[in-house]
Amino acid sequence: MEKIKVAILGATGTVGQKFVTLLYDHPYFEIHELVASERSAGKRYIEACRWKQNIPVPENVRDIVVKTTDAKLESKILFSGLDSSVAGPVEEKYANEGHYIISNSKNHRMDPDVPLVIPEINHDHLEIIKQQNYKGAIVTNSNCSTMFLAMALAPIYREFGIEAVHVTTMQAISGAGYPGVPSLDILGNVIPFIGGEEDKVETEPLKILGSYKNGRIEYADFKISAHCNRVPVYDGHTETVSIKLKKKAEPEEVAKILDEFSGLPQELKLPLAPEKPIVVFDEPDRPQPFRDVWLNRGMSTCVGRIRKCPIYDVKMVILGHNTVRGAAGAAVLNAETMYRKGLIE
């Protein structure tokens, strides 16, 4: 099989580097172009990038000469890890030129004709790209905290219905990009504010869990209240969640629904799809970022401490790898899904 040529936008940044680690030996895709800021342009990737991953820069990537966002690109698929300050117009430009933008950036997530996709949950939303006014298309994945919350809520919402959700996030410093948060701010501390984060967590799941009907996405009909905190953990966003159900259920019933959850990526056995998208723990002190964040290559959502809530109905702890399943890995899985569904021409 001839691989599809892909480019990475924002290739020298934290998410861009993670894209490189996930794509350099991918069975469907071949890294053909790397795009970054003007200060990196014209340099070999190994020279332009302050590499911070746990493997060396791949040999087939290190000598690629970095291009700017003004460059004409040959690749069909562009994975965007661009900063939101520049992502919007750059992604639109390339979509107008016929490229398929698979974006981790927030800029177009809530556009009415842009799907916000977790393929285990709402791969049918991808059909809406046919209504976009681009020669190509823009597809987005969610905010990193939204990802794991939505993954856990989806099977519960479908089986029991949801009236309300209260979530408190404890978000790793890697979610702030490199170099992250100043050490004097985060060491031994909790920062109870992450700009714009609570709004994303309160709105994005409603689009993801919504229904695609008559060419539009109808949002899910419950409310979410979020508190978002930065904590001194390197990788792994932890969330404590309380859920009010429409149809009452015991914690054991909720745990069973979560444990049995699966979706299209598992059915198609996509390269990056975890065999179990949700891993349910019985231990009273799990999941933990230090021990569990890399389960299934960082692509699973971990759920534990499922128990009765004295105010709502059920409560639990959720964990996921914020830079893998919560960022670059989510975008790659979206592209794999689009490819296998025949949506990339």
CA distance 165 to 152: 12
Q: Which of 123, 237, 302, 321 is catalytic?
A: 237
309 is a catalytic site residue: no
What the block records as the tokens of 193 is 């504010």
Active site residue 227: no
Q: Report which of 301, 247, 311, 240 is spatially closest to residue 275, judged by C-alpha positions.
A: 301
Instruction: Say how far apart CA 87 and CA 106 lie, in whole Å.
Output: 8
CA-closest candidate to residue 155, choices 192, 118, 127, 199: 118
- Using CA atoms, how far apart are residues 23 and 53, in angstroms rounded to an integer? 14
Are 321 and 250 in contact by the 8 Å Cβ rule? The answer is: no
The structure tokens 């992450």 sit at: 194
Spatial CB neighbours of 250, under 8 Å, sequence gap ≥ 6: 308
- Which residue's entry shows tokens 């919402």? 157
- Please give the structure tokens belonging to residue 207: 């689009």
Q: Tell me if 301 sits within 8 A of 273, measured CB to CB.
A: no
**Strand ranges of the sheet holding 4-9, from the earlier edge strand across to the other edge:** 29-35, 4-9, 77-80, 100-103, 137-140
Element (H, E) at 242: strand 237-245
Measured CA to CA, the distance from residue 83 to residue 175 in angstroms comes to 13
First to last CA, the chain: 15
Catalytic residue among 108, 123, 144, 228: 144
What is the separation of C-alpha 37 from the centre of its chain, rounded to a whole number of angstroms? 23
Q: Would you name the residues annotated as active-site residues?
A: 144, 237
